[in-house]
A and B are shown apart, each in its own frame.
Chain A
Amino acid sequence: MFEGASNLAAGVDRSFILILAIAVFFTVGITAFMIWTVFKYNRKKNKPARQFTGSVTLEIIWTAIPLILVLVIFFYGWKNYAPMRKVPADAMQVTAIGRMWEWSFDYGNGKISKILVLPVDKAVKMNLHSVDVNHGFFIPAFRVKEDVIPSYNNYLWFIPKFKGEYDIFCSSYCGLQHSGMNTKTKVVDPADFTLWLDSLPATGNIPDAEGLTLLKNTGCIACHSLDGAKLVGPTFQAIYGKKHIVITDGKEIEIEVNDAYLISSILDPGKDIVKGFNKGMMQPYRDKLSDAQITLIIDYLKTLTGK
């Protein structure tokens, strides 16, 4: 019975059984005692009530025993909970997006699915993201649940142990169609998972390439457009391999834009000025960008073919 559908299920179920055993023992015992006293000490038997008022020994016993039991339960519950917050470093990352009233699962690179497909026996970390109100991500079979709260980076993780389909519910009330906000997780062979993911069309936002992020963060695209528009500096559109007339030391020469030219223009922008643009508008980026970053930027510029 402890062969749970996820690696975390056994710990939850063991804690459950422990508490259940204690609860049943005391509920049955105390109820039986009450019923027994009602018959044994019934007034119809005409025995006078004994007038004792308490016992310090008994008070100590029935303070100590419950205290020990609840501390055992507490400790056991915590011990089996602790692994739920320790995500293995190699876990696959999937973002669960909750919105009124449906789930979607973002596998990165714009690949978004309405059902959660997972490879069996592989750790997965679910990053929980809400676009509107509170939701709750709940897979009962895996014994995992965490609230999906806007502006919070909540998460949970697990390893699915068996292939099959399992229900996913929204556990935190989110309005009109709260009860309709459910879907499935499908646990499959790793090979099938790869096939499925490859065939999943990229419909979501594809994240920026690292080079583009650098261009944005460094402020380059304030003056160099990506779409061909003429701003303060020449556009980046289809720049790599383009022939430019540049003014070097007062003379016009034609060059082809290549790695060397781009590096030189980033590090020493005043050296070769493209005809039609002004000198001194751009500061040198010699100490501001590393060689590796410059390489990333150039790699990105190569992809801007203008098509």
Chain B
Amino acid sequence: MSHSETHPQVSYLEYQGKYKGILGWLTTTDHKRIALLYMYCIVVFFFVAAILGLTMSIEKMRPGQDIMNAQTYNGLFTVHGIIMIFMIVIPGLAAVFGNFALPLLIGARDVAFPKLNLFSWYLYVIGAILAVLSQLLKGGAPDTGWTFYVPYSAGSSTNVIWALTAAFILGFSNILTGLNFIVTIHRMRAPGMTWFKMPLFPWSLYATAWIQVLATPIVGITLLMVIAERVLHIGFFDPALGGDPVLFQHLFWIYSHPAVYIMILPAMGVITEIFPTFSQKPVFGYGAIAISSLAIAFVGYFVWGHHMFTSGISYWSKWFFSFLTFIVAVPSAIKVFNWISTMYGGSIQMRPPLLYAISFVFLFMIGGFTGLFLGALATNVQLHDTTFVVAHFHYIIFGGMGFAFFAAIHYWYPKMYGKMYSDRWAYIAWGFTFVGFNLLYFPQFIIGVQGMPRRYFDYLPQFQWGHMLSGFGAFILLIGLILMAWNLIYHVKRGAIAPANPWKGVTLEWQIASPPTLENFEEIPVIKHNPYWFGTEEEIKREKKSVTRNT
């Protein structure tokens, strides 16, 4: 409180604590600054991994060796996967927008443990440095794929141990962030904000945080077991030493499937914030969306075996995992229906965040529906380990989590920097990104159905047309991403001053200055309504009556 009294007008970007300049950032415990620290790291690594992806696409535009050899290619898809999965999509939305918006949305001055929050970021940086070192050190980039399947990963002579250690440390960063968010949500909601008056992005972060805390330790110990296997030849997984290679796959996916929900739940949460704001209308089915987040998080624990239908697991375990995989599809469907119903009857203003949100729903549907092909046992046999899977998870992770990230940055940018970007350039960047994305990944569904296996450096000529289109798509996509980044970076300094509430949002972050002051709220607000309260009291009463009449 004393800070905000002495510096009532100073934003968190200008506020000067004990240290100036860069040191002020590196020692900050402010959740908004930590969010930006995460974002800058993530954006840099994202472009590195995206360029690695582009070079793979170029290599594959023609069969045979063009710009790199097979070992380089195998290292590239491993590195691309490790950076994208462990350093971008798993921490991404929670660490950046969770950190930035969670305290604002629940009316808090910071997260529960600000120092732990900064420590999590340092762990992230240490993990990231190790991951980058694993690429550069003598021994060569790891070539196991981001899944580190044994026995291959137990024997590969590349820097597998570095990459495993990196993933292990990044996991701890995640666990601590999750813990921080759980405590924050339990203890720091503004007075009057009951669980069911909490906005839905915090709800999704809450479900995510539990997965982070409970599931991440499993992959931690699994990665340590692979290290022990390599160094001490214990024989957990290597059949030559008496181990079981499929045990690794179980342990790996017990974490890594719930990890998909760590990626996608916050994305769904972001989208749930955007639809009501741009429709000027309460979110449709608040309770259904909140509960479905928890349902996804819970059932998502029990579907890992669908990554292993062809690995020789028992007949009835396949039955069980396939069944549960289909059950977990239902809460996602419920969310989609609620999102589109939120727009129905609204006063819709098309702005870049909404366009990205609508694109998210479209791409996420394609990703989700193609998941049904993989969850069904008969079709899984044909599609497993083909480029169909590659296309499917890029539609979910990039089309889903990635586009939600783009939606989120366009949504909260005015709050973060107090400036507006150019809508026009945002639409142009969207056009390139959306067209490039679909051109890059959609052909891979088709060649996947035809039998093109994944992780192939070379391929038979009948698959060339698909790889060729993907290559062009990759170029277009990268142009879109560069335009988007330029639009956002350029306008941090030169954009028009953003008002406190540019989108007419009703959640708490729009009721304070853009950018917020260090401690967000001069006075902690007292919550009386549900979080998406757009109309006057009379309007809402009238609407309730007419709905009752209609039903």
Contact residues of A with B, CB < 8 Å? 11-12, 15-16, 19-20, 22-23, 26-27, 30-31, 33-34, 37-38, 41-43, 47-55, 57-59, 62-63, 66-67, 70-71, 73-74, 76-81, 84-85, 132-134, 136, 138, 140-141, 143-147, 149-154, 167, 169-180, 182
Contact = CB atoms under 8 A, between A and B. Distances in A.
Contact of B347 (A31, A33, A41, A154): A41
Given A41-B345, A145-B384, A150-B240, A54 B245 contact: no
B143 A175 contact: yes
Contact of A138 (B312, B453, B544): B453
Contacts of B143: 175-176
Contacts of B9: none
Interface of B: 70-71, 74, 143-145, 149, 151-152, 155-156, 239-240, 244-246, 279-288, 310-312, 315, 318-319, 322-323, 326-327, 329-330, 333-334, 336-338, 340-341, 343-350, 358, 361-362, 365-366, 369-370, 372-373, 375-382, 384-386, 449-451, 453-460, 530, 532, 534-535, 539-540, 543-544, 547, 551
Given A49-B534, A63-B330, A169-B453, A31 B385 contact: no
Contact of B551 (A16, A57, A149, A179): A57
Given A77-B378, A143-B381, A173-B455, A53 B551 contact: no
A190 to B, nearest CB: 27
16 contacts: A19-B379, A26-B365, A49-B346, A49-B347, A51-B539, A53-B286, A57-B551, A62-B337, A67-B330, A70-B327, A73-B326, A81-B381, A167-B451, A169-B451, A173-B149, A175-B143
B74 A30 contact: no
Given A15-B379, A55-B547, A172 B348 contact: no
Contacts of B370: 23
Contact of B543 (A11, A51, A146, A150): A51
Contacts of A71: 326
A143 B451 CA distance: 9
Contact of B333 (A66, A144, A173): A66
Contacts of B384: 145, 171
Contacts of A31: 361-362, 365
A24 B517 CA distance: 48
B453 A42 contact: no
Contacts of B540: 51
Contacts of B551: 55, 57
A74 B244 CA distance: 29
B372 A73 contact: yes
Contacts of A172: 149, 385
A43 to B, nearest CB: 5
Contacts of B155: 133
Q: Which of B279, B319, B456, B547 has the most CB of A within 10 A?
A: B456
Contacts of B534: 49, 51
A33 B459 CA distance: 40
Nearest to B451: A140
Given A27-B366, A67-B330, A138-B385, A59 B376 contact: no
Nearest to B339: A34
B497 to A, nearest CB: 23
Contacts of B451: 138, 140-141, 167, 169
B152 A43 contact: no
